[in-house]
Amino acid sequence: MNQRVLNMLHTLNSLEKKQKKDACYLEEMPVKAFSKDLSEKKKIKVLNNYFFRNKDIYVSKHNRFAPYPLHAHTFLEINYMLEGNADQVVNGKPIFLHRGDLLVLDVGAEHSIGTLGERDLLINILFRNSNINIDFLKDLRRSRSVLYDFLLKSPIKANEKQNYLVFRTAKNNKIAQIMDEIIEEYFLKKEFSDTIIKSYLHILVTNLVRDYQIVDQQPQSKTRKIVIEILDEIDKNYSTITLQKVANMFGYNKNYLSNLFKKEVNKSFSEVVIQKKMTQAHTLIMSTSLPISKIVEAVGISNKSFFYKKYYDFYKEKPLADRQQNLINI
């Protein structure tokens, strides 16, 4: 991290000086930063799009020395623990952030923040882009992994929507580098910083999604453990995997394992393998210039006609048309 920026962040601003002196919270936001339709029952402050005047992204240091009251947003927010630690409560659940951790809060997530000490630096990043949300992050991850897709369909609780994610990224140097660049660009007010920050945020989101591990919310029966291992094998070895190889691996009869798998996943083994091959092919089509014939081989399909039919079934478009449309959109 640029030392000049670190010094700026550690320097007490006028509000922090008052909070440190009086040991109580002082409202930092003007009235127009809050939505008018506040919840009377819960008395939750709802921050609106006030922050995005002339910019798509707003970055700030969270003020220290006083707890921040319960509030919600009409936008996506990332809390990044640059230094120190922080206690938060999100939707009634305590969350403890260590140095390097990120908390992603979706629209409507209710949270409060405990008192930060002098060495605690919590950075807030706010997004104007309503297309980036928790569902977007999950769908992006789901599209790359049949195991993640399976786990994501396991409900946390009936009718409960998870609108926050915690990323324990303290040991991820890549995430730290990206966050350093974003913070430096914003606070040093470099030329074209808004454009550069938006580019970095796309890289950040992609890296977070790639490394995110979902916790299985369902009871870990023997059958479920086996199915999770099989799905993980499909994700890793989709181009060469067969039901017979998996049956040999786990010491089961092929037909018995097939029935067990379908009962748990609600799809046959072959359907899930094809799903993985199609999503992988789609990724290669959209992100590389490899000939379609090479991509067909790479995902382990020998019949090109079969590939084209299945690809159209999944994406309602032909592979080359998908690639051309993607080039137009870039």
The CATH number that applies at residue 11 is: 2.60.120.280
Q: What is the pLDDT along the chain (330 residues), one digit of tens a residue?
A: 889 999 999 999 999 999 999 888 888 777 777 776 654 445 677 776 667 766 778 899 999 999 999 988 877 889 999 999 999 999 899 999 999 999 988 888 899 999 999 999 999 998 776 555 555 556 555 566 776 667 555 543 334 456 788 888 888 899 999 999 999 999 998 888 888 888 888 788 778 777 666 555 555 678 888 988 999 899 899 999 999 999 999 999 999 999 999 998 889 999 999 999 998 898 889 888 899 999 999 999 999 999 999 999 988 889 888 888 766 654
Which of 177, 211, 245 is at the close of a domain? 211
Which of 151, 180, 211 is at the close of a domain? 211
Determine the pLDDT at residue 66: 94
Residue 216 lies in a domain: no
269 and 206: one domain? Answer: no
Q: What is the pLDDT of residues 100-123, one digit of tens each?
A: 999 988 888 899 999 999 999 999
d(CA 11, CA 13): 6
How many domains is the chain built from? 2
Q: Residue 234 maps to which CATH number?
A: 1.10.10.60
226 and 202: one domain? Answer: no
Which sign does the torsion angle of CA 223, 228, 234, 237 carry? negative
Which of 211, 233, 265 is at the close of a domain? 211
103 and 171: one domain? Answer: yes
Indicate the pTM of the whole model: 0.66
d(CA 173, CA 292): 35
Q: What is the pLDDT of residues 287-327, one digit of tens each?
A: 888 999 999 999 999 999 999 999 999 888 898 888 887 66
Structure tokens at 118: 């002098």
18 and 153: one domain? Answer: yes
- If one counts every other C-beta atom within 10 angstroms of the C-beta of residue 283, the result is 14
What residue spans of 156-214 are helical by DSSP H? Answer: 173-187, 193-211
- If one counts every other C-beta atom within 10 angstroms of the C-beta of residue 176, the result is 17
| Among 227, 214, 226, 25, residue whose Cα is nearest residue 114 | 25
Q: What is the span of the domain harbouring residue 267?
A: 222-329
**DSSP 8-class letter at 67:** P
